[in-house]
Amino acid sequence: MVWIVEVGYKDGVTDPVGFLIKKEIDDLGIKGVKEVKSISTYTITGEIGEEEVRKIGEELLSDNQIQEFGYRGIGVNKGIKHDIPNAWLVEVGFKVGVMDAVGMSAVRAIEILGVGEVKEVKTGNKFLIIGNISEDDVKKICERVLANSLIHKYRYYRIGES
């Protein structure tokens, strides 16, 4: 089965990655971005069930003091909500053939945790860019701040309008 685990910062907690990305966007001269939220994603493939995914999220992939996590799989959707008005969602991941060292480390850590049989973990990031910006601005942000075109693929879409 394939599970997607998402880890982001809780409301009221400073998102250090999002804070730095917002600063880089400001440095590009793009106006209108109010906030950037970062979400780490882990696509886990293997023989594991919902209880095991919950344990992986709680004990391995997140810090429950400052972060929240969610997960999705076939027939299960307990993911982090992305229904923020007036925002863009950008998804960034490695291109096929690029080594994912964090994903390989996660496989080993899950083995040590003793949870199910995991074949592969692929990591990625999602960014919620909140504010009034154009699609051209989003593309510029992706190409200049969020993704390295040699190793990353990305996609983006508007998720809400005010």
- CA-to-CA distance for 146 and 91, rounded, in angstroms? 9
Class of domain 2-160: alpha beta
* Structure tokens given for 59: 């004990």
So what's the pLDDT on residue 161? 59
pLDDT at 160 over 90: no
So what's the pLDDT on residue 116? 82
pLDDT at 82 over 80: no
So what's the pLDDT on residue 162? 47
Tell me the pLDDT of the chain averaged across its residues: 94
So what's the pLDDT on residue 29? 96
Confidence of residue 20 (pLDDT cuts 50, 70, 90): very high
**Which pTM value belongs to this model?**
0.92
So what's the pLDDT on residue 26? 97
pLDDT at 130 over 90: yes
In this structure, are strands 67-73 and 87-94 parallel, antiparallel, or unpaired?
unpaired
| ∠ Cα 84 59 37 (to 5°) | 20
